[in-house]
Amino acid sequence: MADNKKDNNDNKNFFNDNPLLAFAIFSIVVILLFKVFIGEPNGGGFNQMMGQSMGVSMTKKVSYSEVKKLVEKGVIKKVKITPTTIEALGEEGDKKIRFIAEKIPASDPGFIKMLDKKGVEYSGVMGNGFVSEMISMLLPIFIFFAIWIFLAKRMSKGMGGGILGVGKAGKLINSEKPNTKFDDVAGVDEAKDEVKEIVDFLKYPERYIALGAKIPKGVLLVGPPGTGKTLLAKAVAGEASVPFFSVSGSSFIEMFVGVGASRVRDLFEQAKKESPSIIFIDEIDAIGKSRTSGGPMGGNDEREQTLNQLLAEMDGFGTDTPVIVLAATNRPEVLDPALLRAGRFDRQVLVDKPDYEGRLAILKIHSKDVKLSKEVNLEEIAKATAGLAGADLANIINEAALLAGRQNKKEIEQSDLMEAIERAFVGLEKKNRKINDLEKRIVSYHESGHALMAELTEGATRVTKVSIIPRGLGALGYTLHLPDEENRFLKQKHELMAEIDVLLGGRASEEIFIGDISTGAGNDLQRATDIIKDMITKYGMSDVAGLMVLEKNSGGAFLNGGQTIKDYSEKTAEAIDVAVKSLLDERYKFVKETLSEYGEAIHKMAGVLLDVEVIEGCKVREIIEEFEKEHNKPSRLAHNDKPDVQKCAIKEDSNTEDTDKRDGE
Ligand code: ADP
Ligand code: ZN
């Protein structure tokens, strides 16, 4: 009993949460009822019954006037009148024929008289007509109300003002006076310097206005997610102690037509009223997408209206109004060029991922709020987190605090931070994901192939850890490498080649030692192919094109996300394909030779992996060294000039990933 009641409640909630679905279901029910009561207009159930009972042999469509003529001639014996049709049964010789005519809209009392005169049996179908008329009258009204209610709900969710609140911006515009200061932002010093002068504009607008200086209107903060763009914008407002109005571009596109534009209007109205002030538009690409590169779906209209309103507002206030619009995006290349024109977002500030010093500074900021043990070495953490953004670092500290808390520790220890880093990099261990024994064997050999090539190849990065425990992101196994800080921005050709060899190691190992190849290497091969293509077309590192650069990034002049412009002929394209394939083939052959030569070492490595699932880099090196000694080979270990920071017994540094299925970054 109680269960039933609960079910009902659930249903109610379900429909409340899904008004569109509820509406759709209701409509279907109504339409079905409609069909059942009315039948199909011609040849439906009623007609068939009538026909069958009389042994009708054919049906003819005729005009109303013809029916009358047929009645006059005495052919018709029986008539049924529905609101829309007249069905007449007649006899021609011994054939029974059914005539169907559309009824004329005007009433025709003469017809009934004529039927009476000729003694034709007639009847009308009123009930059905009534229902159908009622439904056809009520359905549009019902649909109208359903849409109204649906709209009203959407609005009130967003606006807090019911349907009449359209245009009142309400809650979606956040207004605050942040306490954030520049000291809370670290690792983005150049960006900080660039926005510092804005603070002065906001603090002393009169000075600049008196001098006739034009206060900048819009600044675009460009950078990957979590690098502190929002934080920086808040810090500008905090330093100048002015109000901070913020919206997110993506919240506009969920709105109904016209709402986005009116919200933009309200946003500027409020900001101007409380000027000097800051407007912050997060994810501006959601509304500012180039009008030509619009998505395939609807909603474009809304975006365009919103964008136009934004442009109009920015043009609308003079350079003497101390309102500054800060906007953030990680995809500057998709922005409509109109947004970047003079007087709009004509300043762009890069907010990039922090380097070592920056990471250390960010870690220090965020560890102020937690209890760290004295033995914690933040330098080591900063070293181990190359490639992460500020938000990731903040998360790592928090995650470490949670880990320590779970173990009932009084302070966060280095091991908690290291564990948190590992989680940040490769996602939580998914021990519950079962892979079968064959898969395990394949992954072991695959990863051993990567690891061996990484250790034997000059210019590759040494292995930190090899694992066949499936992690998030669809990776069945992974080989961790420790990146060199100095090498983050420039790569030499031999390093790119080394990367290719390491990538091919997985596939080659499967082919040699498993005797078959799997889909697991797809991502590796894709990456290897991409590297070779870039070497040829972008970096001038091949004979095919020499120094000629064949592809360049278009759109945003910053970051590397732009679309590529291919600046070469069909013939060159073919030559590139041939060159890519031949280089891939050449490297693959070399990698296979190397793996075959070190076959015993691979077997050993894969065996240990199957056993313990995770091995450290030093173990990999140990296995290779042992093998070389046993066979009196000169050592090919490529990284022995660098001290082995890992001692096998001690828990190792874990570091940046080389998971087998990580797209992007
Ligand atoms: P974005 O807007 O670039 O996506 P956010 O400013 O929202 O990034 O960053 C989210 C959080 O991450 C911040 O509130 C802050 O706690 C932390 N954070 C990110 N970048 C930095 C940084 N450069 N310095 C200090 N903390 C940062
Ligand atoms: Zn791989």
Q: Render pLDDT for 249-296 as a digit per residue (tens, 0 to 9).
A: 887 766 555 677 888 888 899 998 888 899 999 999 888 776 654 444
> Is 447 tagged catalytic?
yes
If you take atom 15 of ligand 1, which residue's CA is the nearest one?
391
Listed residue (338, 171, 358, 348) closest to 267, CA to CA:
171
Nearest ligand to residue 223 Cα: 1
If you take atom 4 of ligand 1, which residue's CA is the nearest one?
226
d(C-alpha 84, C-alpha 106), whole Å: 11
- The mean-pLDDT minimum among 13-27, 83-97, 178-192, 340-354 falls in 13-27
Mean pLDDT over 602-616 rounds to 89
Q: What is the pLDDT of residue 61?
A: 85
397 lines ligand 1 (CB under 6 A): no
Percent of the chain exceeding pLDDT 70 equals: 73
Res. 655: pLDDT tops 50: no
Q: What is the pLDDT of residue 237?
A: 94
Give the nearest ligand 1 atom to 282 CA.
Answer: 2
CA of 643 to the centre of ligand 2 (A): 26
Best residue among 179, 195, 231, 329 to mutate for probing ligand 1, ranked by most atoms within 8 Å of CB: 231
- The mean-pLDDT minimum among 40-44, 552-556, 639-643 falls in 40-44
If you take atom 5 of ligand 1, which residue's CA is the nearest one?
228
Q: What is the pLDDT of residue 234?
A: 95
CA of 251 to the centre of ligand 1 (A): 20
d(C-alpha 653, C-alpha 464), whole Å: 7
The most confident of the ranges 120-124, 257-261, 550-554 is 120-124
Res. 473: pLDDT tops 70: no
**Higher per-residue confidence, 488 vs 67:** 67
Residues in Cβ contact with 43 at an 8 Å cutoff, skipping those fewer than 6 apart: 59
If you take atom 14 of ligand 1, which residue's CA is the nearest one?
231
Q: What is the pLDDT of residue 581?
A: 92
Listing DSSP states for 281-296 in one string gives EETTHHHHB-GGG--S
Q: Active site residue: 194, 399, 447, 511, which one?
A: 447
Domains of the chain listed by start with CATH number: 43-124 (3.30.720.210), 170-350 (3.40.50.300), 356-425 (1.10.8.60), 437-630 (1.20.58.760)
Give the nearest ligand 1 atom to 184 CA.
Answer: 25
Retrieve residue 57's tokens.
Answer: 């042999």
Residue matched to tokens 């828990």: 651
Q: What is the pLDDT of residue 553?
A: 55
Q: What is the pLDDT of residue 607?
A: 94
Q: What is the pLDDT of residue 644?
A: 60
Task: For the chain, give the mean pLDDT.
Answer: 77
If you take atom 11 of ligand 1, which residue's CA is the nearest one?
391
Mean pLDDT over 386-406 rounds to 89
d(C-alpha 221, C-alpha 185), whole Å: 14
**Higher per-residue confidence, 203 vs 253:** 203
Res. 334: pLDDT tops 50: yes
Res. 598: pLDDT tops 80: yes
Give first-to-last CA distance, the chain, whole Å. Answer: 54
Q: What is the pLDDT of residue 153?
A: 59
Res. 128: pLDDT tops 80: no
396 lines ligand 1 (CB under 6 A): no
Q: What is the pLDDT of residue 617?
A: 86
227 lines ligand 1 (CB under 6 A): yes
Give yes or no for a contact between 440 and 476, defined as CB atoms under 8 angstroms apart: no
pTM above 0.75, yes or no: no
Q: Render pLDDT for 518-539 as a digit per residue (tens, 0 to 9).
A: 877 888 888 899 889 888 888 7
The most confident of the ranges 32-46, 230-244, 467-481 is 230-244
- The mean-pLDDT minimum among 132-146, 201-215, 540-554 falls in 540-554
405 lines ligand 1 (CB under 6 A): no
d(C-alpha 315, C-alpha 345), whole Å: 11
100 lines ligand 1 (CB under 6 A): no
Res. 148: pLDDT tops 50: yes
Mean pLDDT over 233-241 rounds to 94
Nearest ligand to residue 450 Cα: 2
Mean pLDDT over 165-178 rounds to 61
The most confident of the ranges 456-465, 475-484, 540-549 is 456-465
246 lines ligand 1 (CB under 6 A): no
Give yes or no for a contact between 624 and 452, defined as CB atoms under 8 angstroms apart: yes
Q: Where does 18-55 have alpha helices with state H?
A: 19-38, 45-54
Res. 450: pLDDT tops 90: yes
178 lines ligand 1 (CB under 6 A): no
Give the pLDDT band (50/70/90) at residue 599: very high
Percent of the chain exceeding pLDDT 90 equals: 25
Q: What is the pLDDT of residue 622?
A: 93
Q: What is the pLDDT of residue 155?
A: 55
- The mean-pLDDT minimum among 262-276, 344-358, 602-616 falls in 344-358
CA of 391 to the centre of ligand 1 (A): 5
**Higher per-residue confidence, 142 vs 128:** 142
Backbone angles phi, psi at 92, to 5 degrees: -120, 110
327 lines ligand 1 (CB under 6 A): no
Listing DSSP states for 375-442 in one string gives T--HHHHHHTTTT--HHHHHHHHHHHHHHHHHTT-SSB-HHHHHHHHHHHHH-S--TT----HHHHHH
Mean pLDDT over 565-570 rounds to 72
205 lines ligand 1 (CB under 6 A): no
